[in-house]
A and B are shown apart, each in its own frame.
Chain A
Amino acid sequence: MKKIINKPENLVDEMCSGFFAAHSDSICLDYENRIILRKNKNKEKVSLISGGGSGHEPSHSGFVGYGMLDAAVCGDVFASPSIMQIYNSIKQVENKNGVLLIVKNYSGDVMNFDGGAELAREEGIDVETVYVDDDVAVEGSLYTVGRRGVAGTIFVHKIAGALAEKGADLIAIKKIAEKTVKNVKTIGFALSSCTNPNSGNPIFNLEENQMEFGVGIHGEPGITREKAECSEEMASRLMAKINENIRLESGDEVAVLVNGLGGTPLQELYVFNNDVTKMLNKLNVKICKNFVGDYMTSLDMFGLSLSILKLDEELKDLLFSDAYTPALKMISTINY
């Protein structure tokens, strides 16, 4: 294993410190609990918290800031943060307006976030939870009940965060978050495995010309292992799988997220984005925005995921609202 790290057991702490050093203009760090917090707290709004295992950077700490999250809790590599970490994050952001937890649907994450929420509720804090399950690859796995939560989670951060910034109440924000979950579908594939720094070995092995279709963000198996095809063919296959679940029609409006899994050249993500764009144009589906880059990674995995979010006027308005976070900045007042 070759990695730019020191000791594997210090990796997450050192990453958090380095992240703080890079973004201390807008975020704070609770080093002890590995919580990234928004620096300028807005106490007049509902607080949003997300988090999960590390290794998915910039998720979720990169999305802490104006118009998105108030806190992100970092677990060990590919392991959900603990109940106490989550409870502490709730305590740090709570105000009279309540707290919404945005949780990717994995058994570990669900148990820990539910446990942390329960401890906070016992103290009278108003906590609601939204579970994201956008991955259409599998119906369930050894690590989930139901579908997995992957890159589509970014849209939930963005849209729920925008509504919270506008001052809506907890129930309204939970509702819009659930609507976003319902409207976003994702599927990915990998050309190589990721290497977990704790074990030092690739999680799975692929032959030179093979790909894992429907791979999860922790190197969990997908649907099939087969021959790797060109970008255009892959775009068509991913789109077909998404379309089975979302039924795109002529005149629909969508946002597209072409997400790198950590080891994919940006160049190739743009090639793939070009293929997806052509395909949607052909279907007469209007793309309101393409997001291309590393949003929800899987350590050093070579591969990508495609997310399609079906929009209506409400979602579109919130998607285009201002956001200022380390990993996503959308500022409407700048005429660019």
Chain B
Amino acid sequence: MENINIEDIKKIMCIISDIISENEKKLSELDGVIGDGDFGYTISKGFKAIKDKINKNDEDDTSKLMKSFGMIMMKNCGGASGPLWGTGFINVSDFTQGKEVFNLKDISGMIGSFIQGVKKIGKADLGDKTFLDALIPAYNSMKNDVEQGEVNIVRSINKASKEAEIGAEKTKEMVAKKGRATYLGDRSLGHVDAGAYAIALLFKEITDKLPSEN
């Protein structure tokens, strides 16, 4: 697979929505270990609304579809998820303006613009124990593939998926690195960030569900 279009994007977003719904409890539990346990429920509510929007089948422009996803997240999700994912999608909307067919370079660009949006509003970066710790390594892997001349989307996502998993795993050690252990105590050590876990899970499941590269 070298190109995708809006119909593929809709399918992928529905897969994401289902994965999030299926793992709602697990994500909340991970969040609850060191936080308030609202993450799974909040994000799931947003992605259910995104799936509803796709099922209405009333949008055939990718940029407008992405903008509607952003607005849906900002309307339906509170917590940190709404503003972060909302701004992310709106940035992707700007990036995809006028585009109809997306190759690997475009897809990596979409993820890159999503990350820019999240960084802007969340003021977070790599190493802050957020979902960026899984997403940025995945993005870098895809960007690197593009630079190396890779065109196969499935193969590149598959590779990125492994980077996301490593990145999520690394969040376990980040408490100590940031010196947060001093007030959270040892109990917060060794726990993965719920958002980073979610990103790694999404990459993995999408890889499994996409048609194989051959």
| A326 adjacent to chain B (CB < 8 Å) | no
Q: Is A330 an interface residue (CB 8 A)?
A: no
Nearest-neighbor residue (CB-CB) of B79 within chain A: A79
Q: Which of B25, B78, B180 contacts A79 (CB 8 A)?
A: B78
Q: A79-B41, A80-B78, A112-B82 are in contact. Are A220 and B34 (CB under 8 A)?
A: yes
B121 at the interface (CB under 8 A from A): yes
By a beta-carbon cutoff of 8 Å, the part of chain A in contact with chain B is 53, 75-85, 107-108, 111-112, 115, 137-143, 145, 196, 198-199, 201, 203-204, 216, 218-221, 223-225
- Nearest chain A residue, comparing its CB with the CB of B183: A138
Question: 19 interchain pairs (CB within 8 A)?
Answer: A75-B79, A77-B38, A78-B36, A82-B77, A82-B78, A83-B74, A84-B75, A85-B78, A107-B80, A108-B79, A112-B79, A142-B34, A142-B184, A198-B37, A199-B41, A218-B36, A218-B38, A219-B37, A224-B185
Is there a chain A Cβ closer than 8 Å to B129's Cβ?
yes
Interface string of B48-92 (1 = CB under 8 A from A): 000000000000000000000001001111111111101000000
| A107 and B131 alpha carbons, distance in the complex (Å) | 14
Cα(A203)–Cα(B77), bound, Å: 21
Q: Which of B35, B42, B75, B77 contacts A218 (CB 8 A)?
A: B35
Q: Which residues of B contact A196 (CB under 8 A)?
A: 28, 32, 36-38
The yes or no answer to B173 lying at the interface (CB within 8 A) is no
Judge if B122 is at the interface, Cβ distance under 8 Å: yes
Roughly how many angstroms separate A241 CA and B56 CA in the complex, as a whole number? 56
Q: For chain B, which range describes its interface: under 10, 10 to 19, 20 to 34, or 35 or more residues?
A: 35 or more
Q: Give the shortest distance, in Å, between B72 (CB) and chain A (any CB).
A: 10
Separation in Å of the B45 CB from the closest CB of chain A?
7
> In whole Å, how far is A196's beta carbon from the nearest beta carbon of chain B?
5
Give CA–CA (A112, B86) in the complex, Å. 11
With A and B bound together, what is the CA distance between A173 and B101 in angstroms? 53
Q: Which residues of A contact B75 (CB under 8 A)?
A: 82-85
- How far apart are B125's CB and chain A's nearest CB, in angstroms? 13
**Is B74 in contact with A115, judged by CB distance below 8 angstroms?**
yes
Contact A76 B38 (CB under 8 A): yes
Which residue from chain A places its CB closest to the CB of B39 in the assembled complex? A79
Other 16 A-B pairs with CB < 8 A, given A53-B79, A219-B37:
A53-B38, A76-B79, A79-B41, A79-B79, A80-B78, A84-B74, A84-B75, A85-B75, A107-B122, A112-B78, A196-B32, A196-B36, A196-B38, A198-B28, A203-B32, A203-B36
Give, as a whole number of angstroms, the nearest-CB distance from A132 to chain B.
Answer: 17
Smallest distance from the beta carbon of B148 to chain A beta carbons, Å? Answer: 36
B47 → chain A closest CB, angstroms: 14
Partner of B35, one of A112, A142, A223: A142
Q: How far is the CB of B167 from chain A (nearest CB, A)?
A: 17
Which among A81, A83, A204, A216 has the highest number of chain B CB atoms within 10 Å?
A83
B32 touches A219 (CB 8 A): yes
Residues of B within 8 A of A76 (CB): 38, 41-42, 45, 78-79
Interface centre among B35, B79, B187 (most CB of A within 10 A): B79
The 8 A-B pairs of least Cβ separation, nearest first, read A218-B36, A79-B79, A75-B78, A111-B83, A108-B80, A79-B38, A84-B75, A80-B78
How close is A10's CB to chain B, nearest CB, in angstroms?
A: 13
Contact indicator A111/B183 (Cβ below 8 Å)? no
- Inside 8 A of A79's CB, which chain B residues have their CB? 36, 38, 41-42, 77-79, 81
Selected from A82, A83, A84, A199, the residue in CB contact (under 8 A) with B32 is: A199
The reply to whether A221 and B38 contact each other, CB–CB distance below 8 Å, is: no
Residues B34 and A111 in contact, CB atoms below 8 Å apart: no
The answer to whether A139 and B36 touch across the interface, beta carbons within 8 angstroms, is no
